[in-house]
Structure 1
Amino acid sequence: MKDSKRILIIGFGSIARKHARILNQNWPGFEIGIYKKGIFFKSDELNLCKRKFTTYQECIEWRPNYVIIASPCSFHLNQALFFAKQGIPTFIEKPIGKGNESKSSWDELFAYSKTVPIMVGYVFRHDECLKELENILSLNSYGEIIDIESYCGSWLPDWRPNSDYKKTVSAQNKFGGGVLLELSHEIDLINYLFGPIEIKYASSMNTNSLEIDVEDIALIQAECLSCKFLTMKLNFCTKPQERYIKIRFSNANITWDLNNQIIRIKEPECKESILYKSENDLDYKYVKQFENFFKFAENIESSRCSVYDAFESLNLICCAKKMSSKN
């Protein structure tokens, strides 16, 4: 891949700034442009961006080689359609949408994705621990899967310490906030590893501990072919933060600690031990994600997360939301 590439980032929130930093560190020859409506607030990452745009026309005239859509998810589909129509390889941050978009718009995006490289940013699909866990599951060494538990708990005000959390995308329904959309990595991972999954029960609520207008805690119970007892618990209203997937086999428990990038095993009559530990930093999976995207755009390798994969995760989120409203 030649270094003289132009990459356009749509939006400039926390994940967009993270992408700008990682791109600058790992692809220093790339020229980064930013599209954002309104004021560009000063930040170290803004200094990495050579061009700043406030209209789509300016973006197109710049002729970017790639587009990264890192705006609120309520804008993702329309923005993806606009740039896909220009034939520009497009990376869409997760989730792919909010869930209230029209079927015709989704069909249009699916049609474009057959000729234009479009990939979605479920970054944990590029995590080294995920690959190791897939290998462990393929060996069938620990007996029958009895129970699967996925948990992600954190404190929303800690996500972006320099911002008023009540004004962030995560805290506002109109932008696609709430734990079911914001913490959809867990839903995507479980469906990727064990799917197709079928949701049997879902409940969510606003605990009022954060004074926001979205659900801050959710419970999903599901089943799949290999396991009838599958639970996902999501929240951003608790401390300390914790994030894991625990698989209870008939002969062992396997736990993937996502925050510390460790896979542990507990066997009968044995102390818990480490099966695998990543030696790379937390940015590594983002680098691998962009490597995959650029190779996918050049038809060198397939995407690790297609629009169809991400749409399947969005359908599961919508199913959970619908069940939650009834409960």
Structure 2
Amino acid sequence: MTAVQGGSSPCLSPVRRAPDSLLIIGAGSAGHRHLLNAKALGVADLRVFRTGAGASRARLPEAVSVETDLAHALSRGAKAAVIANPTSLHVESALQAARAGCHLLIEKPLSHALDGIPDLLLEIRRRRLVAQVGYQFRFHPGLQHVRHWLQNDAIGVIVSAHARWGEYLPDWQPWRDYKSSYAARAELGGGVLLTLSHPIDYLRWLLGEIVRVSAVTARRSGLELDVEDAAIVQLEFESGAAGVVSLDYVQRPAEHHLTIVGRKGVIRWDNSDGVARLDAFDASQRNSDAAAPPRAFDRNRLFTSELSHFFSCIAGKTELQGEGCSIEDGEQALRICLAAKRAAEEGRRISV
């Protein structure tokens, strides 16, 4: 087996292409992470809009302006905005920011419903804004290597794919009541299908369009939630390949992995160590390969890579296509999740 491993990951340092000013809309755990990363990447003028309704326990860095009125915050002329408030508020907030001329990084999922997305897309296109959805697993070096193998036909025609992600919801933010989090509340756009929708996005990114879905959802966690806490989604790809995504808020220890089967081999990726593994067969010969992340790689690197890419797109140095998730891609991931919910309710396959 040939192991492919990057060198030591460099320390986070300012980037020349960082915008002068950035507004973070929402100061929960995701917003706070983006705030610290933007500061480390060299954004000089950082502002946060917060209502105080969330349960963030983190103090904001010094010299960060705090706003409690979104219209006033946007009137100060931020170059870009990160939308990191609850899912149900994403589109409304993004539309306000777009009308103020802000480039947009919108946390995943794009929304909990399709309402307002056509207006948002129209505003983005009319103003020629950079707009990206925060499906940061596209920036995982292991999954990027999986994509490279697939693009080079390493395992031939794809037959099937299976993504599995289970993680115990109360462990996500142990300092707070899990029932108050957006992930646990229907009115905030929660539920396991939307909250853990990364595999839906990265399977499209890796394998192409998904055209039909069927699904089963359940509330079996005993966590007293008003949203689905387990889901099994069957995917039919335009290519003819079949896929399964299995999600839950229950499993301990957490597990997140991917298997892709082709006519000439199999690709596996496991989030626990980040390693992508390839076993390919040519006639009677087996060829194996593995790709590990850099030694200093950690989860935050996904977010810093995503934010750096967003800044680079704003500066005109990088195209959004490829790694970044566009608004259109985010909308399609949402359509698939909503189709899965409907398929589970109606007990039938749904075309996307």
Residue 138 (structure 1) shift: 1.8
Alignment partners' CA distance in 1, 2:56 and 2:231? 35
Correspondence for 2:306 among 270, 278, 289: 289
The Cα offsets for residues 119-177 of structure 1, whole Å up to 9 and x where unpaired, read as 11111122222221111112223333222101111100111111110111100000011
Secondary structure of 1:163 counterpart: coil
Q: Which amino acid aligns with 1:6?
A: S
User: Is the CA contact (8 Å cut-off) linking 1:20 and 1:49 kept in structure 2?
Assistant: no
2:337 corresponds in structure 1 to 317
Secondary structure of 2:276 counterpart: strand
When normalised by structure 2's length, the TM-score is 0.85
1:306 corresponds in structure 2 to 326
**CA 1:2–1:157: 2 relative to 1, 3 Å:** same
Instruction: Tell which deviates more after alignment, 9-18 or 253-262.
Output: 253-262
The Cα offsets for residues 224-261 of structure 1, whole Å up to 9 and x where unpaired, read as 14443211111111111111110122343211112321
Q: Which amino acid aligns with 2:77?
A: R
Residue 49 (structure 1) shift: 5.7
The Cα offsets for residues 160-219 of structure 1, whole Å up to 9 and x where unpaired, read as 111110111100000011011101111011111112112331111111421111101001
**CA 1:15–1:3: 2 relative to 1, 3 Å:** closer
1:253 corresponds in structure 2 to 266
Residue 40 (structure 1) shift: 8.0
User: Is the CA contact (8 Å cut-off) linking 2:19 and 2:311 kept in structure 1?
Assistant: no
1:122 corresponds to 2:135 = yes
User: Is the CA contact (8 Å cut-off) linking 2:155 and 2:261 kept in structure 1?
Assistant: no
Correspondence for 1:34 among 36, 48, 73: 48
**CA 1:65–1:322: 2 relative to 1, 3 Å:** same
2:71 corresponds in structure 1 to 57
User: What is the correspondence of 1:159-170 to structure 2 with a 5 Å cutoff?
Assistant: 159-170=172-183
Secondary structure of 1:47 counterpart: coil
**CA 1:259–1:61: 2 relative to 1, 3 Å:** same
1:200 corresponds in structure 2 to 213
2:248 corresponds in structure 1 to 235
Alignment partners' CA distance in 2, 1:55 and 1:193? 40
Q: Which amino acid aligns with 1:14?
A: S
Alignment partners' CA distance in 1, 2:103 and 2:52? 26
Correspondence for 1:173 among 186, 204, 208: 186
Alignment partners' CA distance in 2, 1:232 and 1:3? 36
1:110 corresponds in structure 2 to 121
Q: Which amino acid aligns with 2:220?
A: T
1:86 corresponds to 2:91 = no
Alignment partners' CA distance in 2, 1:86 and 1:182? 28
**CA 1:49–1:15: 2 relative to 1, 3 Å:** farther
Alignment partners' CA distance in 2, 1:49 and 1:153? 39
The Cα offsets for residues 51-88 of structure 1, whole Å up to 9 and x where unpaired, read as 11110233024322211100011001111111101111
1:7 corresponds to 2:22 = yes
Alignment partners' CA distance in 2, 1:40 and 1:145? 44
User: Is the CA contact (8 Å cut-off) linking 2:27 and 2:56 kept in structure 1?
Assistant: no
1:185 corresponds in structure 2 to 198
Instruction: Tell which deviates more after alignment, 152-161 or 56-65.
Output: 56-65
User: Is the CA contact (8 Å cut-off) linking 1:21 and 1:45 kept in structure 2?
Assistant: no
Unpaired stretches in structure 1, ≥5 consecutive residues: none
Correspondence for 1:25 among 11, 23, 40: 40
**CA 1:35–1:227: 2 relative to 1, 3 Å:** same
**CA 1:48–1:317: 2 relative to 1, 3 Å:** farther
Q: Which amino acid aligns with 2:108?
A: K
Root-mean-square deviation (Å): 2.3
User: Is the CA contact (8 Å cut-off) linking 2:221 and 2:249 kept in structure 1?
Assistant: no
**CA 1:288–1:267: 2 relative to 1, 3 Å:** same
**CA 1:2–1:253: 2 relative to 1, 3 Å:** closer
2:163 corresponds in structure 1 to 150
Secondary structure of 1:238 counterpart: coil
**Identity over the aligned pairs, expressed in percent?**
27
Q: Which amino acid aligns with 1:112?
A: E
User: Is the CA contact (8 Å cut-off) linking 1:34 and 1:49 kept in structure 2?
Assistant: no
Correspondence for 1:47 among 45, 61, 66: 61
Alignment partners' CA distance in 1, 2:200 and 2:292? 23
**CA 1:2–1:131: 2 relative to 1, 3 Å:** closer
**CA 1:4–1:189: 2 relative to 1, 3 Å:** closer
**CA 1:71–1:320: 2 relative to 1, 3 Å:** same
Alignment partners' CA distance in 2, 1:307 and 1:240? 33
Residue 220 (structure 1) shift: 0.8
User: Is the CA contact (8 Å cut-off) linking 2:190 and 2:227 kept in structure 1?
Assistant: yes
